[in-house]
Structure 1
């Protein structure tokens, strides 16, 4: 028997022996398993969306659903935390980062979520279709959910009522294909999966081709985004325009199988693709080398050591009250459970010390702190400063993609902000103030308008090509304006050659012109929207304020009586990077927090967004609802605590010596009294 035939036979016997089904979507009881700690080598056949085996001569992309799903329960996996963000029936879970629809041209940063999280908007209420959401955010999701509607539903949608726009988007699904769950986005070994190649295909609306591109299995030619709406994939002319794959024949074994190098537990590098963040300072993006790695990763751990999951992919998110769908306990996969232990001290699996974690003593720390503070309040997130700073995240800012970033890109996310969560404890949070164009309803609520439509309606009035901030709020001064402001000689110099006072003059002039441009252009844009929609109540929201056009329509006024839930900051808790004990808040004693400058209470955050300088500044104590008088009293108490200790110690010492002296006097008196009594007895 030849070597390839023998290899194929062994694989076939293994599949039969393990009871692996040969059809996609195997049920849970029959899914593949090796029951070994050793990594299983995947020499497997690839299948396309039509469930046809792929060869080196094929031109169709491979389907993770029909390939991985032959041995693993795709249906079970599809309900996992990473894949149900767009699942309207899924459990909301604890607040997380929303999907932020950002358009720098219109000054939009709109928080969206299908989960009922506070201060977010449901895409369905805005008229955003599943196709629009997938096209906009698909490069940042691992697939599944709204990214793969059923083919039968698509075909029905073509003839169903809903207008030309709905029919056009429905027809595009038939061209783009589904964005299936791409298992290898997480499970491929480092260096095998190309996330940027995947993003490029999704941006070209080649949804079904993205997994093939990410594995670098071959060359993909074609661009669905260039095919007209309403085109049928069955039309011969359209077929010629659809993307095709030219596979690399070297990737195929002699038996037609392909080796997929993957791991059971994803590496931290895979997590970083979507879970990186960078801090911003006055000079731009802070360099990585000045930051320390998360203390757990530095100790050699991987993300999945704590953030575990089973075949259902119900991810342990690290908070105490999370309940696994399968009934397993997540208790010791939280900070408290791992380091302090769970409620059941009699059970070994509930004890502290999982993965060799040290048990903190917290000597001298009153128990009330554990009732009011989360572990991350002292140990998690960026080191707190006097004011929360901008940060960038992978999901919101596309970290990992090629390109230069200044740190000023929208959306404007700030951290750390110490706010209370639903459990009443203080956590460090990321925050963002929504910015969007909307219609003000009769009951004083705001209904955001679809961002892409807003751009079409306001393109002529805003006259912004790239950036609302750079072109309206901070317009570049003409040479004549610089000469008039700084003088002919200084005006010709480069900005980095100006003095501090000259920079201040230029900035002040930019803000002055920007304020005038903002009022004029936004007012005209609101008029354009009202004309387009036939309404009289269009508004623009930014940094906690609601702007409406004045009666004459050539300037803006600020509305005060609007539902605050539509303009308030949105918050979600953060934990990483976790700082070591030596870098935790409170390490220097009680007065590090209990003083007038204690950062957990006294640091501030300023509303930020497309309209800089317009937002208000609030302290962490205000956000937490802390009573100012009570806090001041505590600060004064703790401020004199050291002196009070010395006074008490001195008083105790004085009391001790007074007691000793008194005891000595008393003893002496007794001695004298005893001697006097003896002499009287002798005389008798």
Structure 2
């Protein structure tokens, strides 16, 4: 009994240390410092900070539960939780949040970070509430997901980042940093159930649902009318939890099966990607895994972090809270190390990595190319490949994907970054409705508002492309194209020529539909925004109402010549995975794999993709990687000619050397015979006298 009392007192003291009013620096950091996995048989605490029992009805709170032993405030400022925090270090450009609405042909790139592309959500009038509801299913919580604010949660001094909807937040609760989204063992955490609760606006209930701790009944999104949490009628509609009594031990604790080092399966929830070809989404059995994963490594072997969760992203020049510890966690740092260093922490060979020889590769390649240019991403093709990602296309969720769903993006775009090195990139072209400003910049409009304003003019129920751009032909239109007999045949039986004719006719009608309906929609928007010019942007083109009467087709739509690449042009972010082995790297086939007229790192092309490009000619806007890299065509031609004849030149040189050697050997042989004969004459004068006799006799 005494031991139990002492234990209770000790736990109470520990709790005071963990959740007291002191600063994060004063709190004790719970750690075992052992290699063995620490088993978490712990008490759960709800959103009111009360211990949860099998009879409780409120959801469990990661902040109140995990925060008893771990510094929640420090963790909440980590890389994955500060995506909405404009004050955090942004680092190298990454994949933006892409607000996609197939009904309005929208794919709007958004970011709170100070990246060189994308729009700040507030520019489009998007509140933290809308951003959390839209993208919270792909976030482990934190940021404005916690009542629309970021800042020092510990002291309560929170910085409001945008206008929010306070009543709705009071019902949904906070989307707290959910530690188990990453640290639960594979199979113990249901990310799809978490997303389902967020869609229902049950933010505070999402962690409980994901761990399958109990059954949740209720749906905040269904609560309409006056929103007053104190109102009894509202309280009756609020979600409740019925906990699974089997989860609780006799002492009321719950076993939470977690690991210190997150498993790769958790990373895949947000970091999967699939390439798309003519057959659609490439299946998994076609793909090879990242070479590091095939070697038995996990994502976090390279992408490490401490308690502050400042993730090592693995690129050179990253600003990090522990810069010395991350040196050998980049490509060059791990495989090459710091030359001449005597510090064991800076030497190559970490985790058994081999040191590449790069035999015969001139050093200039390391000045001009990033490691990823040759080793990362899908095998380079004649044109940039369509791509789907978890963040943009909800990979990992059940459903059928054709591969052409918005947002449209591509991979394998080889262009330079600020360090003047060539990297492989992912790319997309923004498509959105906005307002044209006097300085040629464009301010995007709130996509939800645009849908409301254009619903009667666009008349698209589900898909902008299928219904507006490539509409199904009516029976009389099919007869006009194919004739009455062939028009009755099932479309799967049409030959290629017939399919091409139908496709061409669809594009013609789609072009007309687009110009007429977009023009009408822009006029509807201008009625709402006052004396300003509304525009629609897609694949680098800017469309506006033809008030000047320059539209030869009479549809009331014109294209604006714009030099504003920042708001309309291609946006890119570097890609690093999957890493290919040396045997499948670019250039393994020799110099001419790049230095030839069809060398793909220069000759491969990329075309704008988006809601409108499906009606454009395939060659429209097509550019080569060489032009993106700023390579001089004449210089490249000279290099190609030099390398294309390099093998023949080598044979010529080798043959010339062989002939020269033969000539030299013959010459040396003749010289040696002459010298030998001369030496003989010198040593035997009589031989010279005798040798002249036949000549004299002949003359006689």
TM-score (norm 1): 0.94
Structure 2 equivalent of residue 644 of structure 1: 649
Alignment of 1:353-368 (within 5 A): 353-368=349-364
Q: Distance in 1 between matches of 2:622 and 2:312?
A: 35
> Cα offset for 1:15?
8.2
Structure 2 equivalent of residue 136 of structure 1: 134
Q: Distance in 1 between matches of 2:192 and 2:449?
A: 28
Q: Distance in 1 between matches of 2:31 and 2:300?
A: 20
Change (3 A) 1:582 1:250: same
Change (3 A) 1:406 1:233: same
> Cα offset for 1:126?
2.3
Q: Distance in 1 between matches of 2:50 and 2:567?
A: 49
Change (3 A) 1:220 1:636: same
Are 1:627 and 2:624 matched, yes or no? no
Q: Distance in 1 between matches of 2:277 and 2:115?
A: 30
Secondary structure at 1:635 match in 2: helix
CA contact (8 A) 1:222 1:243 kept: yes
Change (3 A) 1:535 1:6: farther
Secondary structure at 1:246 match in 2: strand
> Cα offset for 1:648?
1.0
Structure 1 equivalent of residue 155 of structure 2: none
> Cα offset for 1:51?
1.0
Are 1:27 and 2:32 matched, yes or no? no
Structure 2 equivalent of residue 159 of structure 1: none
CA contact (8 A) 2:44 2:52 kept: yes
Secondary structure at 2:74 match in 1: helix
Q: Distance in 2 between matches of 1:537 and 1:284?
A: 39
> Cα offset for 1:675?
4.0
> Cα offset for 1:588?
0.9
Alignment of 1:156-167 (within 5 A): none
Structure 1 equivalent of residue 118 of structure 2: 120
Q: Distance in 2 between matches of 1:330 and 1:224?
A: 44
Q: Distance in 2 between matches of 1:582 and 1:338?
A: 19
Change (3 A) 1:637 1:119: same
Structure 1 residues without counterparts, runs of 5 or longer: 154-161
CA contact (8 A) 1:171 1:229 kept: no
**Range with greater deviation from structure 2 (667-676 or 369-378):** 667-676
Q: Distance in 1 between matches of 2:408 and 2:687?
A: 101
Change (3 A) 1:172 1:8: farther
Structure 2 equivalent of residue 216 of structure 1: 212
Q: Distance in 2 between matches of 1:37 and 1:120?
A: 43
Are 1:467 and 2:463 matched, yes or no? yes
**Range with greater deviation from structure 2 (106-115 or 545-554):** 545-554
Q: Distance in 1 between matches of 2:150 and 2:55?
A: 30
> Cα offset for 1:565?
1.4
Are 1:111 and 2:109 matched, yes or no? yes
Structure 2 equivalent of residue 579 of structure 1: 580
CA contact (8 A) 1:321 1:331 kept: no
> Cα offset for 1:151?
8.8
Structure 2 residues without counterparts, runs of 5 or longer: 152-159, 690-700
Change (3 A) 1:9 1:519: farther
**Range with greater deviation from structure 2 (125-134 or 601-610):** 125-134
Write out per-residue CA displacement over residues 117-152 of structure 1, whole angstroms, 9 at most, x where no aligned residue.
Answer: 122111122221111111111111111111114799
Q: Distance in 2 between matches of 1:8 and 1:417?
A: 65
Secondary structure at 2:18 match in 1: coil
CA contact (8 A) 2:144 2:150 kept: no
Residue from 238, 242, 250 that aligns with 2:238: 242
> Cα offset for 1:604?
0.7
Structure 2 equivalent of residue 279 of structure 1: 275
> Cα offset for 1:329?
2.6
Q: Distance in 2 between matches of 1:15 and 1:643?
A: 82
CA contact (8 A) 2:18 2:70 kept: no
Change (3 A) 1:53 1:445: same
Write out per-residue CA displacement over residues 362-401 of structure 1, whole angstroms, 9 at most, x where no aligned residue.
Answer: 1111111111111111111011111111110000011111
Change (3 A) 1:172 1:339: same
Q: Distance in 2 between matches of 1:493 and 1:7?
A: 83
> Cα offset for 1:17?
8.0
Alignment of 1:450-489 (within 5 A): 450-489=446-485
Change (3 A) 1:595 1:135: same
Structure 2 equivalent of residue 422 of structure 1: 418
CA contact (8 A) 1:26 1:71 kept: no
Residue from 436, 439, 442 that aligns with 2:438: 442
> Cα offset for 1:677?
4.2
**Range with greater deviation from structure 2 (392-401 or 324-333):** 324-333
Change (3 A) 1:258 1:21: same
Change (3 A) 1:56 1:24: farther
> Cα offset for 1:24?
8.7
Write out per-residue CA displacement over residues 257-291 of structure 1, whole angstroms, 9 at most, x where no aligned residue.
Answer: 11100000111100000000011111111111111
Q: Distance in 2 between matches of 1:24 and 1:583?
A: 56
CA contact (8 A) 1:20 1:32 kept: no
Alignment of 1:509-548 (within 5 A): 509-548=505-544
Change (3 A) 1:119 1:679: same
Q: Distance in 2 between matches of 1:465 and 1:25?
A: 55
Structure 1 equivalent of residue 189 of structure 2: 193
> Cα offset for 1:20?
5.9
Q: Distance in 2 between matches of 1:128 and 1:215?
A: 31
Alignment of 1:51-62 (within 5 A): 51-62=49-60
CA contact (8 A) 1:540 1:548 kept: yes
Alignment of 1:144-163 (within 5 A): 144-149=142-147
Change (3 A) 1:460 1:17: closer
Change (3 A) 1:24 1:644: farther
> Cα offset for 1:498?
1.1
The size of the alignment, in residue pairs, is: 670
CA contact (8 A) 2:18 2:71 kept: no
Change (3 A) 1:402 1:655: same
Larger Rg: 2
Q: Distance in 2 between matches of 1:405 and 1:576?
A: 22
Secondary structure at 2:531 match in 1: coil
Structure 2 equivalent of residue 157 of structure 1: none
